[in-house]
Amino acid sequence: MSGRLHGKTAVVTAAAQGIGRAAALAFAREGANLAICTSHSMSELNQVADEARALGVKVVARQCDIAEDAAVSAFVGRVRTELGRIDVAVNLAGYRAERPLLEETFEAWSRNIAVNLTGAFLLTRAALRALREQGGGAIVHIASRAAIRAKEGHGAYAASKAGILQLTQMAAVEGARHGIRVNCVCPGLIDTPMTRGMYDMSATIAAWKEVCPLGRAGTPDDVAKAMLFLASDDACVVTGQHLSVNGGQWCS
């Protein structure tokens, strides 16, 4: 199999569904061996693993709570043992609970920070160590349009995603001398199982069309393609950046 990631190994978190699933399969189609994990349904993750293996790549699929230090270290260690190396780490694990700040609970705030920001830090630290030993690689995070522009009711979620922008830049600065690139994508409205569970999608998409020049919601594949670009050698001099995947919302 040939492809932009042929012979490389990519770690993809939250790969059981949505953007994580799309990213894992996009990377597999480009020849990457995969280490995928989820904190939820192993049956869904195993389906993704089977689809990837059918493309001719090696796959390690495990359950992992991305917000737990020991769990992330153990997962990355197992990946290096079973697949030999890590070339790309893709952080897609996320939690979203939306409330005005005055109504925010400590528990919900803590969970947003733990999964979205602390989880990103734990994967970044583990990946930086592995990539430094190998002489380079790429890390790609997922942030959000909420990280850039405030919207009422998105307090804890937006704060955690804004932290990822700074984590991305700091890791890019520290990783550069070791040949490590670090970037993130900031999606707008993406039609995923998570968003469908949170919103009336017909009404939400109709409202989105009023502020989005391209006039449609994105798909998981749209985000996966942006991540694939940032992970590949096509982006060999791109680091410390955030790439908005939002249909041009900022233009209107």
pLDDT in tens, 40-54: 889 999 999 999 999
Tokens in use for 46? 């195993």
Q: Which of the residue ranges 8-17, 38-47, 68-77, 149-158 would you say has the lowest mean pLDDT? A: 149-158
Q: Which of the residue ranges 4-8, 211-215, 236-240 would you say has the lowest mean pLDDT? A: 211-215
Residue 81 is predicted with a pLDDT of 95
Note the pTM of the prediction, 2 decimals. Answer: 0.91
Judge whether 146 and 158 are in contact, CB under 8 Å. Answer: yes
What is the average pLDDT across 116-120? 96
Q: Which of the residue ranges 14-18, 55-59, 94-98, 198-202 would you say has the lowest mean pLDDT? A: 198-202
Model confidence at 246: pLDDT above 50: yes
> Which residue, 202, 109, 91, 204, is CA-closest to 155?
109
Report all structural domains of the chain as residue ranges with CATH numbers, in order of start.
9-188+219-247 (3.40.50.720)
Instruction: Give 147's pLDDT tier (boundaries 50, 70, 90).
Output: confident
Q: Which residues pair with 185 in a beta bridge?
A: 142, 243
Which DSSP symbol is given to 100? Answer: -
Q: How many helices (H) and strands (E) does the chain have?
A: 9, 7
Residue 153 is predicted with a pLDDT of 62
Model confidence at 228: pLDDT above 50: yes
Mean pLDDT, the chain, rounded, equals 90
Q: Specify the higher pLDDT residue, 42 or 189.
A: 42
Q: Is 157 a catalytic residue?
A: yes
**Catalytic residue of the set 157, 163, 165, 181:** 157
> Which residue, 6, 60, 59, 45, is CA-closest to 29?
6
> Which residue, 185, 178, 142, 139, is CA-closest to 160?
142
Q: Specify the higher pLDDT residue, 119 or 215.
A: 119
What is the average pLDDT across 236-251? 86
The CA distance from 196 to 99, in Å, is 18
Q: Which helix (H) or strand (E) holds 120?
A: helix 119-134
Single-letter amino acid, residue 97: A
Percent of the chain with pLDDT over 90: 71
Instruction: Give 252's pLDDT tier (boundaries 50, 70, 90).
Output: very low
